[in-house]
Amino acid sequence: MTSGPVTTAETGSVTPAEPLPDAPTASGPVLAPTTQPSAPTPQHTPRTPPDHPPPTRRFLARAAVVTASLSVAAALLGLLRDQSLARLFGAGRDTDAFLVAWTVPEFAATLLIEDGLAFALVPAFSRALARRAQGAPGDPVRALVAGTLPRLALAFAAVGGGLALAAPQFVAALAPGLPDQALAVDCTRLTATCVFSFGLAGYCSAALRAHRRFSAPAAIYIAYNLGIITAMHTLGGHWGVRSAAVGVAAGGCLMVVVQLPFLVRELRKRGAAGSETRAEAGAGAGAGAGAGAGAGAGALDVPLMATVLLFALCRQSQVLIERFLASGLPAGAISHLNYAQKVAQIPMTLSMMLCTVTFPVVARALAEGHTERARAQVERDLAVAAALVLLGAATVVACAPQLIGLLFQRGAFTAQDTAATAVVMRIYALGLLGQTLTGVLVRSYFSAGRATWYPVTAMAAGIAATSCIGAWSVGSWGVTGIAAANAIGITVTAVLLLAGMGRRSVPVRVPRLLRELSRPLRAATIAALAGEFATRLSASPLAGLVAGGATVTVVFVLLGGALGDQGCTAALRTVGTLTRRLAHALLR
């Protein structure tokens, strides 16, 4: 289940013009470099929009605080949602039926909010903003909205309606061995509504992030999870697990409501400001350049849309493979996979929130011709995201039984469920580095706003590995074989994406990155072993979790420093900066 930021009083956004606390002199990887590439000749100098100057270190740090604080809140609510599902309905045939229907919002979130649509829309809005600053005729941003939003909304509605009608066939194909297919069909028809609501929410998120407004997009999963939790507790006694599906439908609508006022205000404000900017810039912009900039401002690149959506579809199809293979296992298998995966993915979610802030920055830098600035930002993102996710993965491996027991073992969720889920979660954690690298790298492939089929090919290779290994191992190893297939498949994709960097993407220095990534990987391996030993020193789950988590953190930090891991050092600086700023915002 997908979980997922100190705002201005009026707009809830972060702007470079706001007064900001002094940034530390040693910046974290999410911060922009201090040097710029040498200036090109005057006739080719990239224009920087007056209303969107290049982001400063302070701005990116503040934006990261906004995204981090709301993302953490959403992740905690996501855990509370999963706890509520486990406590109210356990891990049996009813939850298995709901989780088959849950495939719809999982796919919709990936395709329409987190990956697919965002990879096309953020660069498109970034180019429109750059064209507006260059004095293009009309308003390229409003033209983009007028040319894309109605058509996309119609497509979202058609797909959602078609899925609701075809729910019986969908359930039969996805989980042929499911005991209660009728319940899964009912839940699927309710969750199918999220195709429309998630599509609109993803459109609003991409537009706001391109405008460097991060608070409302980061808050959508808070509203979503609150909708599900409220529905389960108010309707669960009468409707059973169907109440969770009702919550999905309600939460999707709340995601749109949270963002729409901010987007409307932004378009109105920028539209007015853009008129003045174009009047000033028109004298300096060539007529031919202006006409060319305006061309196609109101349309999306169809090949680009096809590649990003196919990539996201391939990536999310791992869930389909898991549930198809697990549907023939004893009742509760799908639920164990689900609970394990969602807890294990929390480190990945938290590490990826940095890229949520920097992806629009990279796309804008490429739109303005600053390739070196984009390369430096992507390399910093990879270093810090890898360090953070490896620290989280080591903690998950060391403390899996304690984590699952404290989070879920109550009500209908038994000690046997805890043991089975913890084993699966440890195996899932082995693929977290691959998941994170894939998420960071694919953004660099699509940040220029050009269609490329290489990421789709890499993801298809990973899916093929997952399918083959899962089909071979499920008979002997059950859910653990399925989890292992997932970890191996996504790691294959990450390796292929990293190997393809260069001409196909932002030109990062791959050999240097590999050397850098090997350091936190070694530190995380030793830290996980030390942490697992520490958890055995106490019979109390809470004491074991505290001892194991502290041991993992200390060993990882010390080894990372000893090995010269710059990503680990920068990640700690970033976390420290974010913690201080967040504490300042909460306590002032």
DSSP output for 262-290: HHHHHHHHHHHHHHHHHHHHTTTS-HHHH
Q: Which of 16-30, 394-408, 502-516 has the lowest mean pLDDT?
A: 16-30
DSSP collapsed to 3 states, 2-34? CCCCCCCCCCCCCCCCCCCCCCCCCCCCCCCCC
- Above 60 in pLDDT, residue 21? no
Neighbours of 41 (CB within 10 A): 6
Nearest to 406 by CA among 534, 543, 230, 537: 543
Nearest to 390 by CA among 340, 352, 438, 348: 348
- Above 70 in pLDDT, residue 57? no
Q: What is the pLDDT of residue 332?
A: 81
Q: What is the pLDDT of residue 435?
A: 92
Q: Which of 349-353, 384-388, 512-516 has the lowest mean pLDDT?
A: 349-353
E strand or H helix at 166: none
Residue pair 134/147 in contact by the 8 Å Cβ criterion: no
Q: How confident is the model at residue 355 (pLDDT cuts 50, 70, 90)?
A: confident
Q: What is the pLDDT of residue 279?
A: 45
On average, the pLDDT of the chain sits at 79
E strand or H helix at 282: none
Neighbours of 225 (CB within 10 A): 28
Q: Which of 53-57, 299-303, 461-465 has the lowest mean pLDDT?
A: 53-57
Looking at mean pLDDT, say which of 171-185, 215-229, 334-348 comes out highest: 215-229
Residue pair 548/399 in contact by the 8 Å Cβ criterion: yes
242-281 vs 181-191: helix crossing angle, rounded to 10: 20
CA-CA-CA-CA dihedral for 261, 264, 266, 272, to nearest 10: -140
Looking at mean pLDDT, say which of 69-73, 98-102, 120-124 comes out highest: 98-102
Percent of the chain surpassing pLDDT 70: 78
Nearest to 495 by CA among 512, 510, 473, 481: 510
The residue type of 6 is V
| Residue 89, both tokens | 């309905």
Q: Please indicate whether residue 275 or residue 210 has the higher confidence score (pLDDT).
A: 210
Q: Which of 82-96, 102-116, 242-256, 558-572 has the lowest mean pLDDT?
A: 558-572
Nearest to 56 by CA among 87, 77, 74, 30: 30
Q: What is the pLDDT of residue 31?
A: 35
- What per-residue string of b and e applies to 112-142 under the rule 16 or more CB within 10 Å gives b? bbbbbbbbbbbbbbbbbbbbbbbbbbebbbb
Q: How confident is the model at residue 504 (pLDDT cuts 50, 70, 90)?
A: low
DSSP type of residue 113: I
| Residue 517, both tokens | 């990534």
- List C-alpha distances in Å: 222 to 71, 228, 254, 575: 8, 10, 9, 22
Q: Please indicate whether residue 286 or residue 510 has the higher confidence score (pLDDT).
A: 510
- Above 50 in pLDDT, residue 249? yes
> Could you tell me where the DSSP H helices lie in 282-331?
287-294, 302-326
Q: What is the pLDDT of residue 71?
A: 77
The residue type of 389 is V
Rounded Cα distance, 520 and 514, in Å? 11
Q: Is 237 exposed, middle or buried (0-12, 13-18, 19+ CB in 10 A)?
A: exposed
Looking at mean pLDDT, say which of 9-13, 23-27, 107-111, 270-274 comes out highest: 107-111
Q: What is the pLDDT of residue 56?
A: 56
479-499 vs 415-429: helix crossing angle, rounded to 10: 20
